[in-house]
Amino acid sequence: MIQNAIPEEGKVILINKELHWTSFDVVKKIRNLLRIKKVGHAGTLDPLATGLLIVCIGKKTKQINQFMNWEKEYSGTLVIGKTTPSIDLETEINSEKSIEHIGKDDVISTSKKFIGKLMQTPPIYSALKKDGEPLYKKARKGEKVIVHPREVESREFEITNIDFPEIHFRLVCSKGFYVRSLVNDFGKDLGVGAYMSKLERTRIGGFKLEDALTIHEFRKSIEPPNS
């Protein structure tokens, strides 16, 4: 019954990925729920990030690369004055610096440097592969990996609230952009370091988070009535 409900041309499902789920966890869950093998996602979200994930079913998987090329929008929170190796809360804090000399004007002026085309080095703790293995696996094993910078684009970077040491932001960016790398570079530019404490993807192209379902909501939507 579930497979018959999938159109011949396939289907695009918008999922609101929850905290600690990997993008592959979502794909695996939907694959099991629908009992169909041809399922994929259009753009990885880190386990500690939440928000919009495009999942493609059947023939719609042919459009994954198209969706991945679309711009993304995020809202997030960074913490200045402390750093972690993973640039988020996956790893423990490994350095601390005073932020008493940092003012709101410093934050705003620094944010303006991160709009436009940027050379960005992807974080070691990422799903980017080198020699066929994700970088995060190499990082967890303590291997040293050289990652080369790449050109990306920050189309909008807005500071939405400042409550030191937390800085809240909204970002619109291109394909291949690593928000944690922006946070890392932002902290370096301020001279005190930073890590990301929260990230939510709110839009991919014309698809919006407000139209997405959690996995629980999706499961309920495909269950037969009175089940």
- Domains, in order of start, for the chain: 3-69+206-222 (3.30.2350.10), 72-203 (3.30.2350.10)
Active-site residue, 46 included: yes
Q: Consecutive 10-residue runs of the chain (227 residues): their mean pLDDT? A: 63 96 95 93 94 96 95 98 95 96 98 97 78 74 81 97 98 96 98 98 98 96 73
pTM tops 0.85, yes or no:
yes
Q: For residue 99, what are its two tokens?
A: 């932020």
Decide if 193 contacts 80 (C-beta within 8 A): yes
46, 88, 163, 185: the active-site residue = 46
Q: What is d(CA 194, CA 144) in angstroms, rounded to the nearest whole number?
A: 22
Can you state the angle between helices 215-222 and 23-34, rounded to 10 degrees?
10
Nearest Cα neighbor of 189 from 116, 103, 101, 107 is 107
For position 222, what pLDDT does the model report? 86
For position 223, what pLDDT does the model report? 81
Query: Which residues have CB under 8 Å from 88's CB, separation 6+?
Result: 46, 48, 125, 180, 195, 196, 197, 199
